[in-house]
Structure 1
């Protein structure tokens, strides 16, 4: 004989030789609505600072990770006052050729394929090397620009000549795009070429950028 255990909490005494049989309790799943949570206003805490390597003080916002284009028109000619320089070194950047020519006196020392800014972002004019930084940091995109030669200010930012930029994960950008405009103002060289130029150039070396 099947005996069904009652789910009731009833301890009533049954007559001898009798067994209480009850219909099993049927359970069903109730649909419980997820309560709506309305966050209460909380105090905004200052962000937690994560220790990182101290970057050089150059805020470069001209770097982007966009697909470059070669469609652009001649920019307006602008001139920055050059640093006083009495040496015989001279850097010429030709935007139409996407090429750099490096002279010492009348002698051509180096000839490099280069990349200037998209949409005429690189100014044309007479400038000079303002500073040299072995590895400048671009905080906006968390990347590094090796062999930095600053050449002019664009508002609160400085544009310059540097090697192919490197992301914090070690990936080198634009290595397949040298020879076409790829930056938002800087003049970009190959890694090896930028090292040669960095070692050769001095603060005050004239830089001419022409169309």
Structure 2
């Protein structure tokens, strides 16, 4: 290959790459708004991940609720001390994700909504508005989302959690 042919090849290939670059940059500019849509989800995910990392680096007691696995784990720093199967919110009444803390504790509470009225709900720990971790004596479908958004726990497990956690105990809820 002589130098004339070689430089001609570079010019041609340079034109190709310039054109390809233009196509790629145009596609990226066009698709950027669509790629940016999950930013809120990513920010929430990062906040939850950072909270978990910070709690694991401490010796603090905290509660993890995993909606995808329908599991609750009580932690002391990075050591799990209690793990149970739970029942969280159905699709129409989901359990909110985020970082919370136990706000109030009630040995017995009455829970009411548009389509339910349950007296004597045992070992209730509210952590976000009307959302709570509590005992559920009215079903045995743990491992399946069936609640109106609360975290349902078998009564004996709810009692253990109630006695272990204090007001202010962090609660991390994630998918």
1:121 counterpart SS class: coil
Is the aligned partner of 1:200 residue 2:164? yes
Is the aligned partner of 1:127 residue 2:113? no
1:63-102 equivalence runs, <5 A: 88-102=60-74
Q: Which runs of 4+ in 1 moved over 2 A?
A: 76-79
Is the aligned partner of 1:107 residue 2:72? no
Does the 8 Å contact 1:87/1:205 carry over to 2?
Answer: no
Give the deviation of 1:115 after TM superposition: 0.7
Does the 8 Å contact 1:132/1:147 carry over to 2?
Answer: yes
Give the deviation of 1:107 after TM superposition: 1.4
Aligned position for 2:143:
179
Q: Which has the higher helix share?
A: 2
1:141 counterpart SS class: strand
Q: Which has the higher strand share?
A: 2
Is the aligned partner of 1:146 residue 2:122? yes
Give the deviation of 1:142 after TM superposition: 4.2
1:164-197 alpha-carbon deviations (Å, 9 max, x no partner): 1xxxxxxx3112x111001111001111100000
Root-mean-square deviation (CA, aligned residues, Å) is 2.4
Rounded Cα–Cα distance in structure 2 between residues aligned with 1:124 and 1:144? 26
For structure 2, which runs of at least 5 residues remain unmatched after alignment? Answer: 1-40, 48-57
1:8-60 alpha-carbon deviations (Å, 9 max, x no partner): xxxxxxxxxxxxxxxxxxxxxxxxxxxxxxxxxxxxxxxxxxxxxxxxxxxxx
Rounded Cα–Cα distance in structure 1 between residues aligned with 2:73 and 2:90? 20
For structure 1, which runs of at least 5 residues remain unmatched after alignment? Answer: 1-75, 80-85, 165-171
1:117-139 alpha-carbon deviations (Å, 9 max, x no partner): 00151000000100000001124
1:56-90 alpha-carbon deviations (Å, 9 max, x no partner): xxxxxxxxxxxxxxxxxxxx7599xxxxxx97111
Rounded Cα–Cα distance in structure 2 between residues aligned with 1:96 and 1:180? 10
Does the 8 Å contact 2:59/2:78 carry over to 1?
Answer: no
Rounded Cα–Cα distance in structure 2 between residues aligned with 1:124 and 1:205? 16
Rounded Cα–Cα distance in structure 2 between residues aligned with 1:128 and 1:87? 16
